[in-house]
Chains A and B, each alone.
Chain A
């Protein structure tokens, strides 16, 4: 009967038609006003329709109706309601209430467990697990208890509570182990985690040394073997660590085990030569086996370095160059592999740094420079010979990378030395037979050449008055990068640098086109979105940037829904090792810097949506001013998942002075100050349109403090915008209060906006190319955004029937008129003189630093120059056209 009555509602819900679902609920409720099934389903459709308050009230009403949860329809309707509303406590209350009618229901307890696990309600999770374990006595539930205790302990603030939970978890797991109920490595991992949190290394070793079927599973699990060796070292049993490591390395090559073997060997070095000799013999033996040369040889280098550091070098190896020679011996053997440089980079750094510590930096640098010289000469000769092998090409690339590193370690600030040999590198990278064959080494060589050119440009032209020269140099690098991309479209690093440099020159459109070819999606929105996201807002391309923001927002929303489901699956499948990992992953994504930036950017972009004044006001009214509020604590809790290490740097990331990722940022990477500022702007606008004067006054006071404290952590253009927004808010406060002084505020705002617009072309008829690349488009974008916000204020004043509304309207229409003229002038310049300026000032200007690159480009890659010129001019034009169109529509 009940099912029959509810059928039309279910049908509507099944078709996703919530409005009809609500109508059907109401229809049924008119006949049977206390029909609990209908009420529960109505709560659900209301939740789905976004009416959270009514849905919650109705849901709670049904929940507290005695006997209501006897019905499976009510149960389902209610838990779904509270799931949609993200109210896990109430969802759990539904199950607990249902348990009164269906005591000992395994399904209900499981639902409580999962709901609690999804929402980090570990106490409820634990209680459900205990009940399940007691009632159904399955091993799975035993491990649910252990895992929930572990999670509770990890989140506990009180150390005694934490210890109690860990002890309980340990005892349960220990008992399971002794009873043979710990049967797989997933359960073992949880037990090990419980022990590790208590620093109980001895028990961990005992668990890993277990016999029986589990021992075989441990032996086949490289992670556990590595953990075991590490634990033996921690407990001082280095002899046994060596034994386990050797057994593991006999079975499989694994760098983590090599490193631990070296560590255990060095720890025993003071006891005699035996362990070191044994390790060397093992390394030699393994190095002789096919496919194992690299690991064993690198372990030998590692051992030599570590023995030196620990003061255990053999007399024969005590020479200052002994470590260096081992490194070079490795390079000689493996420089034909692209990975060679990554293998040895840190060893070079360590060697030079340890020499620095003993006051011998130049000795180490000179040694390496000398070692490099002849090898580089030979490699270059071999690679540029008539028929070059892939190995020869790769060897040259490997040595070029080492040369780059040594120059950085030597703190070589002479730009000329950084561009020496660029001509040869470009010829090989772009103009050789091997390049035609798309040899990976050629693209790598082009990349290294570009990195050298960028570095040289920044070293040569550090002063603000040298911007023109810097931009000219960077433009040439863009040309080289375009040539490289044309030659080999697969090399994503060339595209990453091209994106970065185009943005440096204020060219969004071409940067975006290249970004789109990288097919960045899903989790990459969080890690790589920063490459382009937000730049459109600063360069007049508001709507295209907004589309990308929406893609990002949609990814985050999907993730919020799916990760908890996967957490459930991990419990269900008994893959407990994922629990901590998934939980940490979810925290990182939920509280991600890029997520905040994406959401703020989306709100920023929505301000440019055109509609009636009513639409615009409605949009700001609906803006959620509460959830985007940030405090120092919420900012500190954010995780920065942005992958800035993806740029293929030739130096370690921590060598900031040589870090090209940092160097090529035209504007600072958005951080806490940026997030605070762009969280406050929509709040300010919300308070304006809602006429919340006190809240607005307080907010703009805080806003000013944030602006003042931001310093150089946000770009000058963002600061200009922020100050402008403050002025917009001040104007509103004066105007709405009827203060006659509001026209003074209007004048100030007018001055700010017009001052940010391009210069009057009818007066000077010329624009500085450097200014365009640096700031003209960026400031025009600020003016456009400020005007858009000011227009919202005008609409708000009109809606609030403020007597000042007309004066503000008049003032804004004057600004618009001027803006249309000035932006039109910029468009005229961009359409023609811009191209000529690039030719004259960037490409053909005399520039001894990049002379060989210029010659190469003009003689061999003119098409790339044309492409880069089009890329710049086309991008500027797109930005200007977008802004012009926006000003036109802003009536």
Chain B
């Protein structure tokens, strides 16, 4: 059973059961702290009945005008906590906040094409492939260099679903930056 609560800096001392997973990146400290200091309500952790961490979602909001959106920076669930609907629950928190608190047009995320399990989950949650980003993921000796699937889901504010009309050609990483 899980408790959903805000992530705390102190959680970094015990998120190894999640981050040792090969698809989960352990970023520089300032990356986590910047998210906490900027969007604490979009950085959610699930904790089990025995107080171990089960998974977390780091999110943010960015963009201007019709590109104003919620973004999933990282979503990861410990191996033993999969198939419980935790990913769905964490995504739900972000989607609700993006829609109700921040009034966004859509939510987007990047995922490795090789991470088929995650892609399947996002598709089940209503996300579709918007575009591919060339060499978004750089190899680090453990994981290979890969392009990213940029997936999106339109929110209620995007009445005409313009935000999810797919881009035909792959784009470069620079094209994904929001001012």
Contacts and interface: CB of A to CB of B under 8 A. Distances in A.
B142 interface: yes
Nearest to A571: B37
Interface in A75-125: none
Nearest to B100: A220
B167 interface: no
Contact of A490 (B16, B21, B26): B21
A511 interface: no
Interface residues of A, number: 65
Interface string B80-94: 111111000100000
B159 interface: no
B170 interface: no
A645 interface: yes
Interface in A561-603: 562-563, 565-566, 569-570, 573, 575, 577-578, 581-582, 584-585, 588
A559 interface: yes
B20 interface: yes
Count chain A CB atoms within 10 A of each CB in B5, B49, B54, B141 and give the residue with the most: B49
A646 B80 contact: no
B29 A524 contact: no
Interface stretch (B6-14, B62-70, B122-130): B6-14
A670 interface: no
Given A566-B33, A575-B38, A524 B81 contact: no
A522 B28 contact: yes
Contacts of A710: none
Given A337-B83, A337-B84, A519-B22, A559 B29 contact: yes
A573 B84 contact: no
Contacts of B41: 185, 221
B42 to A, nearest CB: 11
B49 A342 contact: yes
Given A562-B29, A578-B40, A581-B9, A258 B1 contact: yes
Given A440-B79, A523-B29, A527-B13, A343 B48 contact: yes
A186 B1 contact: no
A346 B50 contact: yes
A558 interface: yes
A514 interface: no
Contacts of B36: 566, 570, 575, 578, 581-582
A255 interface: yes
Nearest to B10: A585
Chief secondary structure at chain A's binding surface: helix
Contacts of B37: 566, 569-570, 573, 575, 578, 582
B13 A588 contact: yes
Interface string B30-62: 100110111011000001111010100000000
A23 interface: no
Q: What bracket does the count of chain B residues touching chain A fall in?
A: 35 or more
A523 B52 contact: no
A339 B12 contact: no
A575 B85 CA distance: 30
Given A339-B84, A342-B48, A346-B49, A643 B14 contact: yes
A186 B40 CA distance: 9
Interface stretch (A291-299, A697-705, A765-773, A805-813): A291-299
Contact of B10 (A222, A256, A518, A581): A581
B21 A566 contact: no
B140 interface: yes
B19 A569 contact: no
A584 B26 contact: no
Interface string B82-124: 1111000100000011001100000000000000000000000
A490 B4 contact: no
B38 A573 contact: yes
Contacts of A558: 28-30
B26 A522 contact: yes
A339 B48 contact: yes
A1 to B, nearest CB: 38
B27 interface: yes
B80 A342 contact: yes
A881 B12 CA distance: 38
A5 interface: no
A829 interface: no
Contacts of A524: 16, 19, 26
Count chain B CB atoms within 10 A of each CB in A185, A221, A299, A585 and give the residue with the most: A585
Nearest to A592: B13
Contacts of B6: 223, 577
A684 B82 CA distance: 53
Given A298-B1, A519-B140, A588-B13, A338 B80 contact: yes
Interface in A303-359: 337-339, 342-343, 345-346
B139 to A, nearest CB: 11
A220 B13 contact: no
B22 A523 contact: no
A255 B142 contact: no
B145 interface: no
A294 B84 contact: yes
Contact of B52 (A342, A519, A565): A342
Nearest to B9: A585
Nearest to B83: A337
A582 B14 CA distance: 15
A528 interface: yes
A517 interface: yes
A581 B5 CA distance: 14
Interface of B: 1-6, 8-10, 12-14, 16-17, 19-22, 26-30, 33-34, 36-38, 40-41, 47-50, 52, 54, 79-85, 89, 96-97, 100-101, 140-143
Interface of A: 185-186, 220-223, 226, 252-256, 258, 291, 294-295, 298-299, 337-339, 342-343, 345-346, 440, 444, 489-492, 516-524, 526-528, 558-559, 562-563, 565-566, 569-570, 573, 575, 577-578, 581-582, 584-585, 588, 641, 643, 645-646, 648
Given A343-B48, A566-B34, 14 more contacts: A186-B40, A220-B96, A255-B3, A291-B85, A346-B49, A489-B22, A522-B26, A522-B29, A526-B13, A527-B14, A528-B16, A562-B29, A581-B8, A645-B52
